[in-house]
């Protein structure tokens, strides 16, 4: 099996599905000749032509709104928003339209589409306020949407193929810090990673840490550090934040009795709050400590300067410290 990067896994999934299904088209800024600002659509324009790989005007609401129209007319569009930070103009189309089309038509119409967007930042990403945000909670709040955030190349390909065949709109958010930072063996052939299922990345008996996206890798590093002191943290990659893998969360939390939720997005009213509430409701008797969360502080996003970015970002050390606090409880 070839070792490929995360962004190559995205591109492979798009290419394979476009070869398999001529209803799949790609719409976005710079997705054509240039192949996307991160290269996620590299080569697609050359292989499939301008009718299927459409360089859009600089208009996010249109990228999503036109994709919705394509979906209504029977295509399987992939809308790329160049950075998740620029998706707010398309929120009306996503929340008022895409998410509600099936429900509001009593199942007469549907809107199978994928909205891809690079997200996230980090100390060395230098994306600052408008090239680094994690906005998944805004979408995870909305019935009718599915929200996926893969953490590695294998999942990226398998989840994207699943999203492309899903009958409903899927928000597919790719952490740009992962695009080229890791390689992984990924099958050439087709496989699906089911939407709505998490994965135990690292088993452990003492604490369950629920996380997703790039933070998974920081949590694993922190867990390995605790392991040297015989504290075994179970790291659970949620992979999908809507719908949550409730069974896995409840099973793991019940088994370990201690829970930390870690995410890069702002902590308040985030995905962590939903996971914490689920654990509190379903696992109360099994808990051996307070459900804890760690995430972004109460500032709008990651500032530019490294010294300021450090304050926002988690990183293995902050996570380790929180895990030790929970372990000692």
Partner 1 sequence: MALTESAPVGVAGLTRDRLRAMYRDMLLGRLLDQRVLVLNRQGRAPFAISGQGHEGAQVGVGYALRRDYDWIIPYYRDISLVLVMGMEPRDQLLAALAKAGDPNSGARQMPAHYSSRRHNIVTGGSPVATQILHAVGVAQAFKYRGEDRVVVATVGEGGTSEGDWHEGLNWAAIHRLPVIFLVENNGFAISVPQSLQMAVEHVADRAAGYGMPGVSVDGGDVLAVYRAASEAVDRARRGGGPTLLEAACVRLQSHSSDDDQRRYRSAEDLAEMRRHDPLERFRADLESSSILADGEADQIRQECQSLIDEAQAEADQAPAPDPDTALRYVYGEA
Q: Tell me which residues are annotated as active site.
A: 131
The residue length of the chain stands at 329
Compare residues 53 and 313 and give the one whose CB is closer to partner 1. Answer: 53
The reply on whether position 67 binds partner 1 by CB under 8 A is yes
168 binds partner 1 (CB under 8 A): yes
Contact by Cβ (8 Å): 208, 252: yes
- What is the rounded distance in angstroms from the CA atom of residue 56 to the CA atom of residue 61? 11
Reduced to 3 states (helix: H, G, I; strand: E, B; else coil), residue 329 is coil
89 lies in the binding site for partner 1 (CB under 8 A): yes
Could you give the 3-state DSSP secondary structure of residue 314? Answer: coil
C-beta separation of 85 from 131 below 8 A: yes
Exactly one of 66, 114, 149, 241 binds partner 1 (CB under 8 A); which one?
A: 66
Q: Identify which range of 8-16, 47-55, 203-211, 229-237 contacts partner 1 by CB under 8 A.
A: 47-55
Q: Which of 5, 24, 32, 52 binds partner 1 (CB under 8 A)?
A: 52
Which of 14, 71, 231, 294 contacts partner 1 by CB under 8 A?
71
Q: How far is the CB of 92 from partner 1 (least distance, A)?
A: 6
User: Residue 240: phi, psi to the nearest 5?
Assistant: -125, 130
Q: Report the residue from 57, 228, 230, 285 that binds partner 1 according to the rule CB under 8 A.
A: 57
Residue 170 contacts partner 1 per CB under 8 A = no
Q: Is 65 in the site for partner 1 (CB under 8 A)?
A: yes
Q: Is 96 in the site for partner 1 (CB under 8 A)?
A: yes
Residues contacting 323, CB < 8 A, separation 6+: 207, 209, 222, 223, 226, 231, 233, 260
In the complex with partner 1, the residue whose CB is nearer, 164 or 326, is 164
CB atoms within 10 A of CB 312: 20
Q: How far is the CB of 114 from partner 1 (least distance, A)?
A: 14
* Stretch of residues binding partner 1 (CB under 8 A), selected from 142-150, 248-256, 296-304, 309-317: 142-150
Which of 223, 197, 195 has the alpha carbon at shortest distance from 209? Answer: 223
Closest distance to partner 1 from the beta carbon of 87 (Å)? 14
Using CB under 8 A as the binding rule, whether residue 141 contacts partner 1 is answered as no
Taken in order 193, 194, 198, 199, the sign of the CA dihedral is: negative
Figure out which of the listed residues 9, 13, 14, 68 binds partner 1, where binding follows CB under 8 A: 68
Q: Where are the beta strands (DSSP E) in 267-322?
A: 292-296
Whose Cβ is closer to partner 1: residue 166's or residue 325's? 166
> Would you say 104 and 150 are in contact if contact means Cβ atoms under 8 Å apart?
no
Q: Binding partner 1 by CB under 8 A: which of 62, 192, 286, 327?
A: 62
Q: What whole-number distance in Å separates Cα of residue 178 and Cα of residue 70?
A: 30
Q: Is 257 exposed, middle or buried (0-12, 13-18, 19+ CB in 10 A)?
A: middle
**Residue 144, interface with partner 1 (CB under 8 A)?**
yes
Q: Contact between 100 and partner 1 (CB under 8 A)?
A: yes
- Cβ–Cβ < 8 Å for 173, 119: yes
48 versus 210: smaller Cβ distance to partner 1: 48
Host H or E run for residue 265: strand 259-266
Which residues in this chain contact partner 1 in the complex, by CB under 8 A? 25, 51-52, 54, 56-57, 59, 61-62, 64-75, 77, 89, 92-93, 96-97, 100-110, 143-144, 146, 167-168
């Amino acid at each position: 099996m070839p070792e490929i990067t995360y962004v190559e896994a995205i591109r492979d999934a798009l290419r394979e599905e476009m070869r398999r299904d001529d209803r799949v088209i790609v719409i976005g800024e710079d997705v054509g000749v240039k192949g996307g600002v991160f290269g996620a659509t590299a080569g697609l324009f050359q292989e499939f032509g301008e009718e299927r790989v459409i360089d859009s005007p600089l208009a996010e609401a249109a990228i999503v709104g036109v994709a919705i129209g394509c979906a209504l007319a029977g295509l399987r569009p992939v809308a790329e928003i160049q950075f998740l930070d620029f998706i707010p103009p398309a929120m009306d189309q996503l929340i008022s339209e895409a998410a509600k089309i099936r429900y509001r038509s009593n199942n007469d119409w549907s809107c199978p589409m994928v909205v891809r967007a690079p997200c996230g930042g980090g100390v060395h990403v230098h994306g600052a306020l408008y090239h680094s945000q994690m906005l998944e909670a805004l979408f995870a709040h909305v019935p009718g949407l599915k929200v996926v955030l893969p953490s590695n190349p294998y999942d990226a390909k398998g989840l994207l193929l699943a999203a492309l065949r899903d009958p409903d709109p899927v928000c597919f958010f790719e952490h740009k810090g992962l695009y080229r930072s890791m390689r992984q063996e990924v099958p050439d052939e087709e496989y699906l990673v089911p939407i709505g299922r998490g994965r135990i990345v690292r088993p452990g008996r003492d604490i369950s840490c629920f996380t997703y996206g790039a933070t998974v890798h920081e949590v694993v590093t922190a867990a390995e550090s605790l392991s040297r002191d015989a504290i075994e943290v179970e790291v659970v990659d949620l992979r999908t934040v809507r719908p949550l893998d409730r069974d896995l969360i409840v099973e793991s939390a019940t088994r370990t009795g201690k829970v930390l939720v870690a995410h890069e997005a702002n902590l308040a009213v985030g995905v962590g709050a939903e996971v914490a509430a689920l654990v509190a409701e379903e696992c109360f008797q099994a808990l051996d400590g307070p459900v804890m969360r760690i995430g972004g502080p109460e500032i709008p996003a990651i500032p530019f300067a490294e010294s300021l970015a450090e304050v926002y970002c988690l990183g293995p050390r902050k996570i380790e410290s929180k895990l030790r606090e929970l372990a000692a409880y």
